[in-house]
Amino acid sequence: MNSQTGNIFVQVGATRDGLDPYLGVARKRSLSAVLVETPAYLRWRRQLGRSAFDVEIAVERPADPEAVRAALEALRPRIALMLPGFERYTASTYAAAELLGVPPQDARAERRFTPLDKSGQRAALDARAPGVLQPRYRTLPVRPSAGGQALDHLGLPLVIKPADGGGGLGVFVVDEPAQRDDAIAQIRAMTNYDGGAFSQIVLEEYVQGTEHSIQAVAHGGRAVVLTTCEKIILRERSRDAGRLVGFREVAHIASHGAQAPQAFQELAQRCIDATGYRSGPFHIDLIENARGVHFVEMGFRLSGGGIVALVRRVTDMDWAELSVASHLDGREPVLTRPPQGEGAVIGQATLASEDELRAAEQLLSRGVRAEILRFAAPASDPDDAGDDASLASDRLRHTGFVGRVVLYARHRDEARANLRHCIAARLED
């Protein structure tokens, strides 16, 4: 580690999947690990039995960079690096790091970086990478404007979502004008994680195709693709939005980055070029169809949903360590060799019921190489954390699962069929 850096790693926002990969990296590097989160979510983490950081700092509004700066000011001389652990706090992490003058925004940084929300990403690609395919889109203010909306030119169906949401929060697919208006009204009535307001609403044409994601590290402005995932997406009726239908990523089929299609590799590089992202982890969602590869959105952080562990299984590489090493050591990621045979692709699905756990167990009896991870019950009722409306979005998007199945296959078709077997009832609803 660079001798000029301190001995504290700061993570702003807790991971919602409980993996805490940066915590493990900090301990291997003998760094003190500090977590900044809301008081309510820190209580909930303890009740869920999540690993404790060395120091946990409660901040009512971690999305406010000045609040984060004030909470960390006394630690500033010892901070080696601060990174976001959750989508909601990506922008505030970088802004607070700039206020504090600590990595990744200190004097040694190649250039200052400002994370762009979903509408900002689209605008950056329009301006700097116009050849990248995107859905047609427009944005609306969260507060209704006096001039009306004039949205009919976009056509239908549409995907409607907050510009700065995450984890599928407030994402709806609509097929008719009345649903479109209901979705806009619903997002305007919702709050972001931690109870804050959304920045804007994005409306974009619905693109048919196969959904994928890219998991990567930027190093010195070069994109290193670690893995790509084909997704299985479930359309589900929203628990709190009446007849509206949203999306949930229920399964992923991962392949080694060395085997990624050239179009995926090129998209990853064009995205970091357009957004100015130079170092650290990122992921991209995309849709592939007969027209090509369509950019959907990107995140300037590690993925949630257990994807960090999936990257490790496929590549035998630690995505979090590679990201920290890029920042602190100036070390470029070097891809391992792709696995062969059984395990050439690895799939995982989150399981929502005992029936789905039993379906996963049936795979074992058929000789499928698989692992079933049953989630531990909370040490106490998470609702006791609970008083706080700031947890409403977390309860909506990050609860209700009993386990996860991870399975090994020779090719995507095999993995896809076995994953669909586990979650068949939900896919048929």
What is the spatial distance between Cα 183 and Cα 313, in angstroms, rounded to a whole number? 38
Q: Please choose, from the candidates 72, 93, 127, the residue with its C-alpha nearest in 3D space to the C-alpha of residue 22.
A: 93
Domain 136-206 in CATH 3.30.1490.20? The answer is yes
> What pLDDT does 396 receive?
83
pLDDT per residue as tens, the chain (429 positions): 344 569 999 999 999 999 999 999 999 999 999 999 999 999 999 999 999 999 999 999 999 999 999 999 999 999 999 999 999 999 999 999 999 999 999 877 778 999 999 999 999 999 999 999 999 999 999 988 655 566 767 889 999 999 999 888 999 999 999 999 999 999 999 999 988 889 999 999 999 999 999 999 999 999 999 999 999 999 888 665 568 999 899 999 999 999 999 999 999 999 999 999 999 999 999 999 999 999 999 999 999 999 999 999 999 999 999 999 999 999 999 999 999 999 999 999 999 999 999 999 999 999 999 999 999 876 555 455 455 677 888 888 888 899 999 999 999 999 999 999 999 989 876
The sign of the CA dihedral 398, 135, 206, 268 is: negative
> What pLDDT does 381 receive?
54
Q: Quick one: the chain helix, strand, coil %, rounded to 5?
A: 35, 25, 40
> What pLDDT does 390 receive?
77
Q: Please choose, from the candidates 1, 117, 12, 124, the residue with its C-alpha nearest in 3D space to the C-alpha of residue 67.
A: 12
> What pLDDT does 5 receive?
63
Contact 185, 177 (CB under 8 A): no
> What pLDDT does 38 receive?
96
> What pLDDT does 144 receive?
80
Instruction: Report the DSSP pairing between strands 137-141 and 32-37.
Output: unpaired
Contact 299, 90 (CB under 8 A): yes
Peptide bond into 104 cis (omega under 30): yes
> What pLDDT does 387 receive?
52
> What pLDDT does 35 receive?
98
143 token code pair:
């507060």
Peptide bond into 157 cis (omega under 30): yes
> What pLDDT does 194 receive?
86
DSSP H or E run through 406: strand 403-409
> What pLDDT does 385 receive?
47
> What pLDDT does 283 receive?
98
Extended beta strands in 130-242, E state = 137-141, 158-162, 172-174, 200-205, 210-219, 222-237
Residue at 114: amino acid letter = T
The domain spans of the chain are 8-100, 136-206
The backbone region for 146, taken as left when phi is positive above 0, alpha when psi lies in -120 to 50, beta otherwise, is: alpha
For 8-100, CATH gives 3.40.50.20
pTM of the model: 0.94
> What pLDDT does 80 receive?
97
